[in-house]
């Protein structure tokens, strides 16, 4: 080809069209990340007002927070099958539609069940997005841009969390203004409206994502696997040069030879237990397990509550959460810049090492406060009446009455104290969330049989396999512990906030950017969609479990214990990244598959 042809107007126009389409791909995929971020982050700003107005128990609130993750478990389980059956693009459209429907279900809900179902639907949407968008990007982008492209997904995911936090701080200011000038009834009504409005604001991105998904093409590798070779090449040409498209078509043909028909008509189907399939699958599962076991989703979802308990005021805690999300957003940019330069493995090692240090630091700060707590369980038990239920408003006067009854010398200031109660009916135990004596608009602590006992025998089996469900229905209320602890001053709160910022910064720069790449890059083409689904199910099961037990666990054992637990899991993550994970920077998906096939006896 002569030089005039190389620089012809047609060639230049094709280059511009390819660049525009690649940018549009990143935009649509980024919107998927934005929705995923909103799924995770929106509850953070809404939770304090939902807790104050919904009359839900700590266990129910934990389930509402975890419902998104539970929905993700269900949808991730089938996402790979659906992506292989209907295609990547239709599944992206369906996931956005599910998000759109979930918003009015949540915002118009009254009571626990519709709120749970709406959040569950939102989680189903998030689970589908979490599988199909990274899968789509990995199969559509060239190797040289795959790190940056998947980084955009994570970057806008963090932007979704920032947006959710900014909406939360806006309503925090409005609630603060109403607190100064309105009655308790008016404040209650405004808080009830506030959490509903926070969810309504998150609707437009879902609509834009669906409209964008309608305009992108299908994945070329999905089309190739379906035998639609001409369409696959045509799609590649929208984002690649003709030479690049031909090269990738040859690589796809070579990778698919194991399943090609033989001359005798038989199909070659190599075992999924071979090293090139099993090893990357196990690596991806361990990485996805540990990624969530860092506690990132729980720390995001309960961030405002953590900062409140660390000593910050309501407004300062909401601002602390905003800064937390901004750190996440900015450090994701750093990770995007470095991921195709320094590599995935380097960032994972650096990120997990920093996470361990920051989690241990935050846990140590909480431990210094929690060791000063006193147990007023006997005094609270004496307040239980014939109904065997108790509603307790914790304020400075109540703290003044309970503290001497503990029988322990205590320097706890009644005006800045927190209370959490662990109680039981028979063999079944529950715990309230923490409430502060200086939070005048806080809902009373409620200890009822309904808030403690499982709804049925099946649920009872999961909650306590050895518990006597029948006896618990008539058993008296027992106060096991009523822990009053000092609320530290604001300086301690900002130290905790700083530790959380370091946690978020290291997570965003390392695991936040690299985890989606590790998931989509490690899996060979033959098992990619289903393998990603299984790995993400493990991820979401861990995330759901941690979110569901977070408040009860903290009430029983303290914030320090949960942070130390998260740090222990991150040590496993660090060891895996350091000693077992190969570098995949700059390699095509087929080259990565060949790496794991090396040394396979076959």
**CA atoms of 378 and 398, how far apart (whole Å):** 14
Tokens encoding 409: 């010398």
What pLDDT score was predicted for residue 280? 76
**CA atoms of 389 and 376, how far apart (whole Å):** 17
DSSP reduced 3-state for 479: strand
Cβ neighbours of residue 164 under 8 Å, at least 6 residues apart?
Answer: 37, 38, 41, 42, 44, 45, 198, 202, 325
- Token look-up 């953590």 returns 306
**CA atoms of 19 and 469, how far apart (whole Å):** 63
What pLDDT score was predicted for residue 498? 95
What pLDDT score was predicted for residue 596? 63
* 356 pLDDT higher than 80: yes
* DSSP letter assigned to residue 483: E
Cβ neighbours of residue 528 under 8 Å, at least 6 residues apart?
Answer: 135, 138, 139, 520
CA atoms within 13 A on the CB side of 24: 16
How far does Cα 498 stand from its chain's mean position?
21
DSSP reduced 3-state for 426: coil
Tokens encoding 200: 């309504």
Cβ neighbours of residue 89 under 8 Å, at least 6 residues apart?
Answer: 136, 213, 216, 217, 218, 219
154-192 core/surface letters (b: 16 or more CB in 10 A; e: else): bbbbbbbbbbbbbbbbbbbeebeebbeeeeeeebbebbe
Burial of 318 (0-12, 13-18, 19+ CB in 10 A): buried
- Token look-up 């059956």 returns 85
- Who wins on pLDDT, 413 or 577? 577
φ and ψ at 385, to 5 degrees? -95, -170
Cβ neighbours of residue 398 under 8 Å, at least 6 residues apart?
Answer: 392, 437
**CA atoms of 75 and 137, how far apart (whole Å):** 19
Give the DSSP H or E segment for 318: helix 314-339
Pick the CATH number of 12-216+274-368+492-597 from 3.20.20.70, 1.20.1250.20, 3.30.70.100, 1.10.3720.10: 1.20.1250.20
What pLDDT score was predicted for residue 5? 44
Contact 319/502 with Cβ under 8 angstroms? Answer: no
* 237 pLDDT higher than 90: no
**CA atoms of 443 and 56, how far apart (whole Å):** 10
Could you give the dihedral angle defined by the CA atoms of residues 501, 505, 507 and 509, in that order, rounded to the nearest 10 degrees? Answer: 170
Mean pLDDT of 329-343: 81
φ and ψ at 441, to 5 degrees? -95, 10
Most confident of 6-20, 490-504, 511-525: 490-504
For the stretch 40-73, pLDDT in tens is: 677 767 777 787 777 776 667 777 877 777 787 7
Mean pLDDT of 242-252: 77
Mean pLDDT of 376-388: 89
**CA atoms of 112 and 57, how far apart (whole Å):** 10
* 164 pLDDT higher than 70: yes
How far does Cα 346 stand from its chain's mean position?
23
| pTM of the complete model | 0.66
Give the DSSP H or E segment for 374: strand 374-375
What pLDDT score was predicted for residue 475? 92
Mean pLDDT of 575-587: 76
**CA atoms of 35 and 204, how far apart (whole Å):** 10
Neighbours of 281 (CB within 10 A): 21
What pLDDT score was predicted for residue 75? 82
What pLDDT score was predicted for residue 482? 86
* DSSP letter assigned to residue 598: T
Contact 276/470 with Cβ under 8 angstroms? Answer: no
For the stretch 422-475, pLDDT in tens is: 898 998 888 777 788 877 666 788 888 887 887 777 777 767 778 888 999 999
φ and ψ at 484, to 5 degrees? -105, 125
Neighbours of 226 (CB within 10 A): 13
What pLDDT score was predicted for residue 2? 46
Could you give the dihedral angle defined by the CA atoms of residues 201, 203, 209 and 215, in that order, rounded to the nearest 10 degrees? Answer: -120
Give the DSSP H or E segment for 368: helix 344-370
* 6 pLDDT higher than 50: no
What pLDDT score was predicted for residue 570? 95
* 271 pLDDT higher than 70: no
Mean pLDDT of 338-349: 82
């Amino acid at each position: 080809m002569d030089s005039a042809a190389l620089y012809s107007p047609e060639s230049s126009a094709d280059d511009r069209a390819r660049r525009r389409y690649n940018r549009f791909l990143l935009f649509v995929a980024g919107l998927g990340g934005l929705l995923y971020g909103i799924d995770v982050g929106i509850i953070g700003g809404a939770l304090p007002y939902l807790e104050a107005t919904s009359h839900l128990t700590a266990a129910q609130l934990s389930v509402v927070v975890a419902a998104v993750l539970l929905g993700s478990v269900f949808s991730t389980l089938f996402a790979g099958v659906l992506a292989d059956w209907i295609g990547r693009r239709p599944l992206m459209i369906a996931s956005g539609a599910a998000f759109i429907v979930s918003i009015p279900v949540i915002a118009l809900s009254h009571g626990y069940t519709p709120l749970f179902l709406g959040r569950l639907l939102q989680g189903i949407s998030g689970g589908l997005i979490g599988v199909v968008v990274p899968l789509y990007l990995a199969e559509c982008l060239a190797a040289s841009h795959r790190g940056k492209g998947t980084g955009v997904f994570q970057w806008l995911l963090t932007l979704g969390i920032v947006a959710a936090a900014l909406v939360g701080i806006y309503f925090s200011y409005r609630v603060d203004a109403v607190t100064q000038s309105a009655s308790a009834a008016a404040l209650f009504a405004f808080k009830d409206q506030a959490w509903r409005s926070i969810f309504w604001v998150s609707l437009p991105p879902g609509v834009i994502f669906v409209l964008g998904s309608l305009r992108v093409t299908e994945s070329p590798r999905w089309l190739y696997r379906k035998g639609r070779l001409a369409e696959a090449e045509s799609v590649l040409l929208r984002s690649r040069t003709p030479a690049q498209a031909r090269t990738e078509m040859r690589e796809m043909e070579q990778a698919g030879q194991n399943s090609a028909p033989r001359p005798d008509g038989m199909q070659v189907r190599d075992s999924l237990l071979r090293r090139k399939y099993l090893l990357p699958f196990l690596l991806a599962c361990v990485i996805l397990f540990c990624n969530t076991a860092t506690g990132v989703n729980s720390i995001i979802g309960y961030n405002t509550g953590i900062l409140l308990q660390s000593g910050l005021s309501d407004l300062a805690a909401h601002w602390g959460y905003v800064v937390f999300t901004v750190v996440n957003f900015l450090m994701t940019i750093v990770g995007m810049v470095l991921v195709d330069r320094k590599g995935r493995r380097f960032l994972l090692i650096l990120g997990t090492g920093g996470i361990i240090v920051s989690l241990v630091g935050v846990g140590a700060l909480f431990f210094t406060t929690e060791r000063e707590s006193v147990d007023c369980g006997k005094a609270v038990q004496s307040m239980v009446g014939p109904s065997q239920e108790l509603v307790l408003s914790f304020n400075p006067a109540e703290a003044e009455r309970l503290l001497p009854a503990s029988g322990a010398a205590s320097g706890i200031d009644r005006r800045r104290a927190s209370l959490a109660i662990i109680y039981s009916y028979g063999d079944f135990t529950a715990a309230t969330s923490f409430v502060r004596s200086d939070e005048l608009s806080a809902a009373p602590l409620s200890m009822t049989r309904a808030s403690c006992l499982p709804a049925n025998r099946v649920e009872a089996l999961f909650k306590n396999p050895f518990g006597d469900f029948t006896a618990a229905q008539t058993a008296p209320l027992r106060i096991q512990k009523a822990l009053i602890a000092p609320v530290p001053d604001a300086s301690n709160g900002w130290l905790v906030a700083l530790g959380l910022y370091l946690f978020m910064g290291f997570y965003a720069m390392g695991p936040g950017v690299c985890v989606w790449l590790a998931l989509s890059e490690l899996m060979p083409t033959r098992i990619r969609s289903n393998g990603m689904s299984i790995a993400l199910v493990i991820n979401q099961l861990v995330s759901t479990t941690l979110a569901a037990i977070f408040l009860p666990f903290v009430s029983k054992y303290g914030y320090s214990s949960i942070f130390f637990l998260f740090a222990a899991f991150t040590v496993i993550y660090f060891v895996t990244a350091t000693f077992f994970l190969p570098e995949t920077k700059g390699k095509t998906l087929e080259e990565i598959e060949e790496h794991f096939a090396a040394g396979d006896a076959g």
